[in-house]
């Protein structure tokens, strides 16, 4: 059997996963003899002998200078690549693995429909909120929603990574029987359980400029792309307010994004440059060290799919402050793994920070995550569910 997976960036997968794990990300339980990965927005070349069953096809992006025309040209380009692969191979299944469906999944669904090949689309986010927050002309004109409805209607099956995200499709009239709930779990998540050595953690904290805080300050961390969805201005203002009562704290904001300059300016205006760090992206080994050097994970974002960084925090044994609605509440149990807050309420976020900062025993209790389902993040369980979904889509029994 052969399959085609369409993703936004295979290179990002290489940075996240180890080679033996990548095979199972795209080929669960190695059920396919060959998997062609069409990697969008990726110009990197890959040698043919890197993976036993994967064949990587990078597709560089046009850029955004042409607006809607760029999207149309890119869709046509990827559509041709997929059709070429279908023409040269006996393809049994097309899969949209991750990335915003309006760009990533559209050419795949068009090919699947034309060639009559089963297809699976993955829903990872609250796209209604995402498009609205972008505030683009395409969203206001209803173009994004029309494309999403076309994709969801014409694919064979839909994988939703959370109950919350499944509602996005249900509200658009997609029958429940067409959807399957399968969480998206990062291969190698167990690495975050391992407690690094003291020297290793100190080196990691030194590298990001937080070495002086180790053993002295309470370390709060967050990790995300620096964009509107993540609600980072409110996190910074809440942290600043909490600093007025609890001076010995530092806030580490991992990640890069379009709001970085604006966020750094906000930190300067608040006069807390020495308390907030922007280390950018860090390698996986260093990331594990930073989690284990921290005391609280702060993540009251406006909306999420199933945030991997929160799962990492749970594995690393951190109490989590998160939003009181959405998919994140399917991961974090209020009062057992962390504290739910209204992400729009700076005072409420600040009070949650102070509550955990001032109560070591509470932090310790929440960090144990007692009673958490043991198989919730089992990679084997997820791979089995993926294989079952793919076989079901190929059988036509749905």
- The DSSP letter of residue 230 is G
Please determine, for residue 245, whether its predicted confidence score (pLDDT) is greater than 70: yes
The range of the structural domain enclosing residue 273 comes to 189-368
Specify whether 240 is located in the same domain as 294.
yes
Amino acid 63: pLDDT: 56
Q: Taking each helix axis as running N to C, give the angle between helix 127-134 and helix 143-154, from 0 to 180 degrees, rounded to the nearest 10.
A: 160
The total of other beta-carbon atoms located within 10 Å of residue 8's CB is 19
Amino acid 17: pLDDT: 60
Specify whether 350 is located in the same domain as 214.
yes
What does the DSSP assignment read for 144-208? HHHHHHHHHHHSSEEEESSHHHHHHHHTTT--GGGEEE-----TTGGGGGS---HHHHHHHHHHT
Specify whether 218 is located in the same domain as 117.
no
Specify whether 207 is located in the same domain as 335.
yes
Gap between the Cα atoms of 182 and 206, Å rounded: 38
Specify whether 23 is located in the same domain as 134.
yes
* pLDDT digit string, tens, across residues 35-89: 999 987 777 777 666 788 999 998 876 655 545 676 778 788 888 999 999 999 9
CATH number at residue 170: 3.40.50.2000
CA 52-53-57 angle, to 5 degrees, is 110
Amino acid 119: pLDDT: 96
Specify whether 120 is located in the same domain as 136.
yes
More confident residue, 395 or 213: 395
Specify whether 174 is located in the same domain as 256.
no
Nearest to 32 by CA among 393, 301, 368, 294: 393
Specify whether 260 is located in the same domain as 154.
no
Amino acid 12: pLDDT: 67
Specify whether 249 is located in the same domain as 335.
yes
Amino acid 258: pLDDT: 92
Q: Taking residues 235-260, report their average pLDDT.
A: 95
* pLDDT digit string, tens, across residues 112-133: 999 999 999 999 887 778 777 7
Please determine, for residue 189, whether its predicted confidence score (pLDDT) is greater than 90: no
Per residue, the 3-state secondary structure of 309-336, as one string, reads HHHHHHHCCCCEEEECCCHHHHCCCECC
Gap between the Cα atoms of 243 and 250, Å rounded: 9
Domain total of the chain: 2
Nearest to 218 by CA among 323, 287, 293: 293
Per residue, the 3-state secondary structure of 106-154, as one string, reads HHHHHHHHHHCCCEEEEECCCHHHHHHHHCCHHHHCCHHHHHHHHHHHH
Specify whether 13 is located in the same domain as 36.
yes
Specify whether 171 is located in the same domain as 290.
no
Contacts of 54 (CB under 8 A, 6+ apart): 22, 23, 26, 27, 35, 37
Question: Distance of CA 220 to CAs 92, 147, 372, Å?
Answer: 47, 40, 23
Specify whether 85 is located in the same domain as 166.
yes
The per-residue pLDDT of the chain, averaged, comes to 88
Question: Distance of CA 244 to CAs 247, 270, 353, Å?
Answer: 6, 11, 12
* pLDDT digit string, tens, across residues 265-322: 999 999 999 999 999 999 888 999 999 999 999 999 998 888 889 999 999 999 999 9
């Amino acid at each position: 059997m052969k399959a085609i997976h369409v993703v936004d960036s295979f290179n990002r997968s290489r940075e996240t996963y180890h080679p033996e794990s990548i095979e199972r990300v795209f080929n669960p339980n190695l059920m396919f003899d060959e998997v062609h990965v069409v990697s969008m927005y990726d110009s990197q070349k890959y040698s043919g002998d890197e993976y036993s069953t994967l064949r990587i096809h990078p597709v560089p992006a046009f850029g955004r200078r042409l607006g809607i025309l760029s999207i149309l040209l890119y869709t046509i380009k990827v559509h041709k690549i997929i059709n070429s692969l279908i023409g040269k191979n006996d393809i049994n299944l097309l899969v949209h693995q991750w990335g915003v469906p309006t760009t990533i999944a559209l050419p795949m669904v068009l090919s699947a429909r034309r060639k009559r090949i089963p297809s699976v689309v993955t829903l990872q986010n609250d796209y209604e909120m995402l498009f609205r927050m972008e505030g683009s002309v395409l969203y206001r004109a209803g173009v994004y929603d029309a494309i999403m409805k076309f994709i969801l209607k014409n694919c064979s099956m839909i994988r939703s990574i959370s109950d919350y995200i499944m509602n996005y499709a249900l509200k658009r009239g997609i029958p429940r029987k067409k959807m399957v709930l399968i969480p998206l779990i990062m291969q190698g998540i167990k690495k975050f359980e391992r407690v690094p050595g003291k020297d290793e953690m100190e080196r990691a904290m030194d590298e990001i400029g937080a070495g002086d805080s180790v053993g002295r300050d309470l370390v709060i961390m967050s990790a995300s792309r620096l964009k509107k969805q993540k609600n980072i201005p409110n996190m910074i203002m809440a942290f600043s307010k909490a600093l007025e009562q609890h001076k010995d704290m530092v806030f580490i904001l991992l990640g890069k994004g379009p709001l970085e300059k604006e966020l750094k300016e906000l930190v300067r205006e608040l006069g807390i440059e020495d308390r907030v760090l922007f280390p950018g992206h860090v390698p996986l080994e260093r990331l594990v060290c930073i989690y284990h050097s921290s005391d609280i994970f702060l993540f009251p974002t406006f909306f999420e799919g199933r945030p991997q960084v929160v799962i990492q925090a749970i594995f690393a044994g951190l109490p989590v402050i998160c939003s009181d609605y959405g998919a994140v509440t399917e991961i974090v149990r209020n009062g057992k793994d962390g504290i739910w807050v209204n992400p729009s309420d700076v005072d409420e976020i600040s009070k949650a920070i102070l509550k955990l900062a001032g109560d070591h025993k509470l932090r310790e209790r929440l960090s144990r995550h007692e009673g958490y389902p043991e198989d919730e993040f089992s990679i084997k369980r997820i791979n089995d569910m993926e294989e079952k979904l793919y076989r079901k889509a190929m059988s036509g029994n749905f």
